[in-house]
Amino acid sequence: MERFSGTLARRGLLGLGGLAAAGVLPGCAAPGRSTAVPQAEVAQASVLGLPNERFLLPQGYGAMQAEFAAAVARRLRHLGLRRLEQMPRYNMLAVSGGGEDGAFGAGLLCGWSAAGTRPTFEIVTGVSTGALTAPFAYLGPAWDDALKRVYTDITPADVLEPRGLLAAILNDAMADNAPLFRTISRSLDDRMLAAIAQAHAEGRLLLVATTNLDAQLPAIWNIGAIAASGDPRAPDLIRRVLLASAAIPGAFPPVMLDVEANGQRYQEMHVDGGAVAQVFLYPRQLTDIRRDRQRRGLPVVPASAYVIRNGRLDSSWASVDRRTLSIAARAIATMIGASGYNDVTRIWQNAERDRIDFNLAYIGADFTGTYTTPFEQAYMRALFDYGFARAARGFDWATQPPV
């Protein structure tokens, strides 16, 4: 949610500057927590006890490779194929963070459906606002109306509840994201969870990233496997994972997850997946077999990678005030913007190496809409319409990041 991160200080820390004079507000007592997972037990910790519920990287690369292989086997069975090379094409989608700019990706997906050219994706990944979009993208055009409502009917009150400036010192965030959890829960209902479980059984993967702040590691959550587990705790965990993926550190509270490791109970702190990466698709370790087949001249499945960058990829000039908050906010926004560009470049380079068709979408300079408060409805509706219109007429995907 990098654009929101950049606006955080520019707009008075979520627009709460006027509340500072009110003094200490209710709910500002320092929150506590249970014991964090000891470093030696991090890799063994689990919420539901599922061996494939998540992958902590880099330790979890081997388990993640095994999960990809298992998904391919399920996909072949579902399609009635005997060999991988019989698959017509393997389509992958990555949706980035971007806060209210997630309306662009939502509009693009809906416009893509209207154009009649949107494929079924074998893998969908999401980070931050992209994690909120990913389940809808994963399930396909039948869920477009619900996706549109999430990004065009939403208001700031559906996302956050201000706490006040002193919360930065006495609490764990500037705002409460309980409204966002309620919004997520309304969308991610039993019907949607059942559809996700079915898609997982068909050999498709839905992966969402959070940041394990205690361990300083990315956690890649296997949402389909969790939905298909039948565990009564699964719906709440999925909703909380999506909330965590969009929990901007300092702006929103972290999500505390109760876990078990070697028979002991602990608690993990998870925040925005964008703290580690703004967008991800597949780790290079997962393509060893593909590259080996290419070197030996054996057939490989045609593959396409689609990356939706919910933001701009050009620099944004500004005259920065010589004040602490202005300088810090500008530096953070610059750092996050550069990180997002680097993430896209990394995916492109991996796709080039693996001979995968690369397609990139991002907000262009032709969109000139602005907003005065985070998650402003008029801005998000305009951005949704912009993404929809570009995709409905046949999106002009970039084949490499802009130079």
Mean pLDDT confidence for 47-65: 94
Tell me how crowded residue 17 is: count the other CB atoms within 10 A of its CB.
14
Confidence of residue 168 (pLDDT cuts 50, 70, 90): low
Q: Which long-range contacts (CB under 8 A, 24 or more apart) does 378-384 make?
A: 379/100, 379/103, 380/100, 380/103, 380/151, 380/152, 380/154, 381/103, 381/152, 383/100, 383/101, 383/103, 383/104, 383/107, 384/103, 384/104, 384/106, 384/107, 384/110, 384/148, 384/151, 384/152
Task: Give the residue, 31 or 259, on which the prediction is more confident.
Answer: 259
Q: pLDDT tens digit string along 272-314?
A: 999 999 999 987 767 777 888 888 888 888 999 999 999 998 8
Mean pLDDT confidence for 247-272: 95
Please answer whether residues 159 and 14 qualify as being in contact, where contact means their C-beta atoms are separated by less than 8 angstroms: no
Q: Residue 123 pairs with which residues in a beta bridge?
A: 92, 205
Is 90 exceeded by the pLDDT of residue 45? yes
Please answer whether residues 388 and 118 qualify as being in contact, where contact means their C-beta atoms are separated by less than 8 angstroms: no
Tell me how crowded residue 185 is: count the other CB atoms within 10 A of its CB.
16
Is 50 exceeded by the pLDDT of residue 179? yes
Confidence of residue 215 (pLDDT cuts 50, 70, 90): very high
| pLDDT score at 49 | 96
| pLDDT score at 291 | 81
Task: Give the residue, 169 or 345, on which the prediction is more confident.
Answer: 345
Confidence of residue 25 (pLDDT cuts 50, 70, 90): very low
Least confident of 140-149, 318-327, 340-349, 387-396: 318-327
Single out the residue of 226, 216, 254, 205 nearest to residue 71, CA to CA: 205
The CA distance from 255 to 162, in Å, is 17
Residue in the structure block whose two tokens are 């509840």: 161
Strands 205-212 and 123-127: what pairing?
A: parallel
| pLDDT score at 9 | 36
Q: Which two tokens stand for residue 211?
A: 């940041």
> DSSP state, 188?
S
Q: 312-323 burial, b for 16+ CB within 10 Å, e for fewer?
A: bbeeeeeeeeee
| pLDDT score at 89 | 92
Kindly report the average pLDDT of the chain as a whole number.
90
Query: Over 38-77, what HEC string results?
Result: CHHHHHHCECCCCCCCEEECCCCHHHHHHHHHHHHHHHHH
Is 70 exceeded by the pLDDT of residue 324? yes
Single out the residue of 4, 211, 222 nearest to residue 103, CA to CA: 4
Which H or E run contains 140? none
| pLDDT score at 169 | 75
| pLDDT score at 265 | 98
Least confident of 40-49, 64-73, 159-168, 298-307: 159-168
| pLDDT score at 374 | 87
Is 80 exceeded by the pLDDT of residue 24? no
Q: Peptide bond preceding 218: is omega within 30 degrees of 0, i.e. cis?
A: no
| pLDDT score at 258 | 98
Is 90 exceeded by the pLDDT of residue 376? yes
| pLDDT score at 317 | 81
- Angle, helix 377-392 to helix 144-152, in steps of 10 degrees: 140
Is 60 exceeded by the pLDDT of residue 2? no
The CA distance from 170 to 166, in Å, is 6
Q: Which two tokens stand for residue 306?
A: 């689609």
Confidence of residue 6 (pLDDT cuts 50, 70, 90): very low
Residue in the structure block whose two tokens are 């953070």: 332
**Residue-by-residue DSSP string for 88-112:** S-EEEEEE---GGGHHHHHHHHHHH
Is 60 exceeded by the pLDDT of residue 26? no
397: phi then psi, degrees, rounded to nearest 5: -65, 135
Mean pLDDT confidence for 132-159: 96
| pLDDT score at 13 | 39
Is 50 exceeded by the pLDDT of residue 65? yes
Single out the residue of 275, 268, 281 nearest to residue 237, CA to CA: 268
The CA distance from 95 to 101, in Å, is 11
> DSSP state, 21?
G
Whole-prediction pTM: 0.91
Q: pLDDT tens digit string along 118-145?
A: 999 999 999 999 999 999 999 999 999 9
Is 50 exceeded by the pLDDT of residue 319? yes
Least confident of 58-67, 105-114, 330-339: 330-339
